């Protein structure tokens, strides 16, 4: 007799999670509560309700979390200019802590004994979901079907559906790419992408045109910042998720945001994936531009030095950890004067910064000018500065030391 009476499942309505609903019911003889989050995946989430009802689910949660996702997770991450392994903008990683939090909250609301997810035993997402869950509810039971069952192929999953009359859409031919989408990105894995030498097919991409097919005329866009976050596009104030939706549309139309990488997963293997992050690509470039005129030099360099650690924390699933909160506090402290406007030129896959201005700018034209500065900067001061900084080098050279 199972001690699990009720389970909250992160439910998409697709093949895997539809099978998981019935598998949980059969294996644990328990009630299943489904939770479907709309975080901008670009597909209608309401049909998940009918699919869950057809599987006998009585408690169904479907929530629009787009604004919260961008405001409380994406924006804080971009204040740090976060990039994992020099390229990846963490589109999948940053969505998991929000989903984990709601799974635990719903478990508390419904009196559930456990939570469940559809992440496989090979990927990072199982780690992210579960680290978040344990951080928020230490004693929670987590059920990860992919680590328990033997339904390890699409064919076996479909056979399971046929045997139990589970209604699912069946696609003919090859399995589609394994995809994950939210307002920040779409990821693609599987099929030919499992060969790192194989080029991604053009018809795989969904949000962006190829740079070759992008308009021959550049698009200019202005982003207004307040304390490190974008609050307006071309002078029009927007909510956080509206900003990202707008940037995705404009960037995608200009062939911006495609990425093809081999990354190091936390579980130990290398994985090849393709990503579309059009709006995020603009956000990263623009944020660095506004910081370039508003941040103190040493503060900017400090941020750059901790960014790789911050990126690893998020990638590995430690959003709900004391180290992430400590890093976030430092990062947020640096953003008080990151205010102003950045002007960008978008052209055939490129994002060029062509202007930046701020009332809090530390750029002083009188000092930086190559023309007459009316004594704003005494160039003779540089001589002593250079000699003092060269002192250790001069001493070592005088002792005959070689580099």
Catalytic option among 125, 180, 258, 285: 125
Catalytic option among 22, 96, 258, 272: 96
Among this protein's residues, is 352 annotated catalytic? no
Beta carbons within 8 Å of 33's beta carbon, 6+ residues apart: 6, 7, 8, 9, 57, 59, 60, 61, 106, 110, 112
307: nearest Cα among 72, 88, 70: 88
Catalytic option among 154, 178, 332, 373: 178
Distance CA 275, CA 294 (A): 31
**CA–CA distances in Å: residue 263 to residues 73, 81, 90, 296:** 22, 19, 11, 33
Distance CA 352, CA 221 (A): 10
Catalytic option among 12, 16, 102, 208: 16
Distance CA 304, CA 390 (A): 26
Crossing angle, helix 240-253 and helix 278-294, to 10 degrees?
110
Count the residues in the chain: 403
Among this protein's residues, is 113 annotated catalytic? no
Question: Between the CA atoms of 201, 202, 206 and 209, what dihedral angle is there, to the nearest 10 degrees?
Answer: 160
Among this protein's residues, is 125 annotated catalytic? yes
Distance CA 313, CA 107 (A): 26
Among this protein's residues, is 16 annotated catalytic? yes
Are 344 and 286 in contact by the 8 Å Cβ rule? The answer is yes
Distance CA 88, CA 256 (A): 14
Distance CA 398, CA 403 (A): 13
Say how far residue 222 (Cα) sits from the centre of its chain.
Answer: 23
Quote the tokens at residue 202: 């053009």
**Helix, strand or coil for residue 273?**
strand
Distance CA 160, CA 292 (A): 56
Catalytic residue list: 16, 96, 125, 178
């Amino acid at each position: 007799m199972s001690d699990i009476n009720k389970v909250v499942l992160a439910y998409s309505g697709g093949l895997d999670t539809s099978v998981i609903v019935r598998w949980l019911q059969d294996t644990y003889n328990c009630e299943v509560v489904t939770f479907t989050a709309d975080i901008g995946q670009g597909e209608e989430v309401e049909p998940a309700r009918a699919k869950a009802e057809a599987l006998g689910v009585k408690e169904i949660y479907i929530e629009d979390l787009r604004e919260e996702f961008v405001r409380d997770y994406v924006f804080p991450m971009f204040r740090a200019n976060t990039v994992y392994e020099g390229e990846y903008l963490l589109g999948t990683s940053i969505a998991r802590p929000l989903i984990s939090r709601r799974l635990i909250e719903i478990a508390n609301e419904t009196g559930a004994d456990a939570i469940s997810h559809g992440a496989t035993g090979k990927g990072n997402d199982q780690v992210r979901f579960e680290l978040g869950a344990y951080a928020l509810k230490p004693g929670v039971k987590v059920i990860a079907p992919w680590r328990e069952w033997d339904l390890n192929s699409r064919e076996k999953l479909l056979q399971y559906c046929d045997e139990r009359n589970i209604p699912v859409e069946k696609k003919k031919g090859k399995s589609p790419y394994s995809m994950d989408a939210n307002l920040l990105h779409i990821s693609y894995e599987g099929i030919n992408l499992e060969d790192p030498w194989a080029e991604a097919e053009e018809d795989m991409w969904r949000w962006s045109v190829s740079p070759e097919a992008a308009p021959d005329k550049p698009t200019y866009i202005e982003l207004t910042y307040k304390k490190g976050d974008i609050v307006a596009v071309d002078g029009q104030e927007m909510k956080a998720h509206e900003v990202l939706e707008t940037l995705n549309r404009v960037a995608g139309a200009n062939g911006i945001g495609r990425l093809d990488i081999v990354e190091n997963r936390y579980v130990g293997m290398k994985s090849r994936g393709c990503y579309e992050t059009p709006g995020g690509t603009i956000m990263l470039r623009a944020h660095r531009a506004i910081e370039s005129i508003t941040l103190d030099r040493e503060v900017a360099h400090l941020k750059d030095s901790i960014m790789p650690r911050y990126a690893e924390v998020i990638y590995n699933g430690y959003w709900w950890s004391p180290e992430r909160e400590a890093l976030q506090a430092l990062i947020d402290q640096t953003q008080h004067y990151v205010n102003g406007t950045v002007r960008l030129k978008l052209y055939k896959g490129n994002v060029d910064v062509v202007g930046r201005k701020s009332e809090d700018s530390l750029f002083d034209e009188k000092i930086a000018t190559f023309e007459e500065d009316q004594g704003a900067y005494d160039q003779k001061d540089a001589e002593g500065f250079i000699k003092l900084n060269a002192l250790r080098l001069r001493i070592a050279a005088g002792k005959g030391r070689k580099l």
